[in-house]
């Protein structure tokens, strides 16, 4: 089916979904029960049309309009009783997972920029006598391995330490994604530097034959913390790539769209960093058995990643891209976007 036939065949359903969504406004109280059922049915049908259009047709205008139409209908259908509750639920259920899921390629690049230097430096330090000696004098290394590294996690009261590491991690994340606007260079530097620090510590412990101690102290909070840093880096890389290669969008518009998506990711990561900070402050260095604290860290990381994958995939199927304000823009903007997409 060519694009003209596709549009002609399905345009009535799109217009009807638009009409019902407009009437529904912030809820479904203005619709009859039959119309509510029709709205849900049309929403599912148009979602499938959007998926087909993305794969079969090279028409950015059509895809953008269907995305906004499906997203707006999603906001109507899944609206809760209060605007505040709806906004919070919508953000964590759809917007944040969608923003991360849509950035999958950049997440992979960000992870490589952090993990490859970590592995390379760790292997080098643990296998090269010259590299090991260049890190620090023998006495300093011994103190770091036997006391300083572990004592760091209990150097302050738990609540104060948790707050400090959370704030620091958020600062690192902000630098990672805000730096993307400068052609990705500060983001790349931040990821490589953090990977190098991780690899250096791991290499020192590996050389001393104490990797279990290292992982026992890093994994409880580090799995979630490093994953969040990688995602922040991905947001920065995506923002920077919009400057370098905006595609068929004007550069200003591309940067604006990616900045709004980066804003969603930044807000969502606050919860991840706070959780990692709580684990680091109250669990990592507080005498909890190694198996228990590692199990807690793995569990928290698994919940986070599962949430991103499951909800991100579901959000993408509904046409949600994760852009800030995507599901609650005014009806006037939706109408204007539709007219621009169909102009000509």
pTM above 0.95, yes or no: no
Query: What integer pLDDT is reported at residue 78 of this predicted model?
Result: 65
Query: Which residues does 92 contact at the CB level (< 8 Å), separation at least 6?
Result: 268, 271
pLDDT interval class at 326 (50, 70, 90):
low
Query: What integer pLDDT is reported at residue 202 of this predicted model?
Result: 96
Percent of the chain as helix, strand, coil, to the nearest 5? 85, 0, 15
pLDDT interval class at 257 (50, 70, 90):
confident
- Helix and strand element counts for the chain (H, E): 15, 0
Domain residue spans of the chain: 3-91+325-342, 103-288
Query: What integer pLDDT is reported at residue 325 of this predicted model?
Result: 60
Query: What integer pLDDT is reported at residue 122 of this predicted model?
Result: 97
Query: What integer pLDDT is reported at residue 84 of this predicted model?
Result: 60
Residue-by-residue DSSP string for 218-243: HHHHHHHHHHHHHHHHHHHHHHHHHH
Can you tell me the mean pLDDT for 221-247? 95
Q: Where are the alpha helices (DSSP H) in 32-184?
A: 33-56, 60-77, 83-90, 96-101, 104-127, 129-135, 138-143, 149-151, 158-178
Residue 48 has pLDDT above 60, yes or no: yes
pLDDT interval class at 4 (50, 70, 90):
confident
Range from 72-76, 95-99, 169-173 that averages highest in pLDDT: 95-99
Residue 201 has pLDDT above 70, yes or no: yes
CB atoms within 10 A of CB 344: 5
> Phi, psi (5° rounding) for residue 30?
-85, 0
- Cβ atoms 231, 107 nearer than 8 A: yes
pLDDT interval class at 27 (50, 70, 90):
very low
């Amino acid at each position: 089916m060519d694009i003209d036939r596709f549009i002609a065949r399905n345009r009535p359903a799109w217009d009807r979904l638009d009409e019902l969504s407009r009437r529904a406004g912030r809820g479904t109280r203005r619709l009859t029960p039959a119309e509510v059922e029709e709205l849900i049915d049309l929403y599912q049908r148009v979602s499938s049309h959007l998926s087909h259009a993305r794969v079969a047709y090279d028409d950015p205008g059509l895809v953008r309009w269907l995305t906004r139409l499906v997203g707006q209908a999603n906001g109507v259908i899944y609206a809760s009783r209060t605007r505040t509750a709806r906004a919070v639920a919508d953000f964590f259920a759809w917007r944040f997972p969608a923003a991360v899921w849509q950035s999958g390629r950049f997440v992979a690049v960000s992870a490589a920029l952090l993990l490859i230097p970590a592995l390379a430096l760790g292997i080098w330090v643990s296998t090269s006598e010259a590299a090991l000696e260049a890190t620090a004098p023998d006495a300093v290394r011994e103190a770091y391995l036997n006391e300083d590294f572990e004592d760091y996690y209990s150097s302050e009261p738990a609540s104060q330490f948790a707050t400090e590491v959370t704030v620091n991690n958020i600062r690192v994340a902000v630098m990672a994604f805000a730096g993307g606007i400068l052609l990705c260079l500060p983001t790349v530097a931040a990821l490589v530097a953090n990977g190098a620090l991780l690899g250096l510590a791991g290499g020192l412990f590996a050389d001393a034959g104490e990797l279990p101690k290292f992982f026992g102290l890093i994994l409880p909070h580090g799995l979630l913390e490093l994953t969040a840093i990688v995602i922040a880096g991905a947001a920065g890389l995506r923002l920077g790539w919009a400057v370098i290669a905006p595609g068929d969008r004007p550069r200003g518009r591309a940067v604006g769209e990616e900045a709004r998506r980066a804003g969603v990711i930044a807000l969502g990561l606050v919860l991840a960093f706070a959780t990692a900070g709580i684990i680091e402050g109250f669990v990592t260095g507080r005498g909890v058995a190694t198996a228990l604290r590692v199990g807690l860290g793995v569990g928290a990381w698994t919940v986070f990643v599962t949430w991103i994958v499951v909800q991100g995939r579901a959000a993408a199927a509904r046409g949600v891209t994760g852009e800030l304000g995507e599901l609650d823009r005014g009806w006037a903007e939706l109408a204007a976007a539709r007219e621009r997409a169909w102009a000509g």
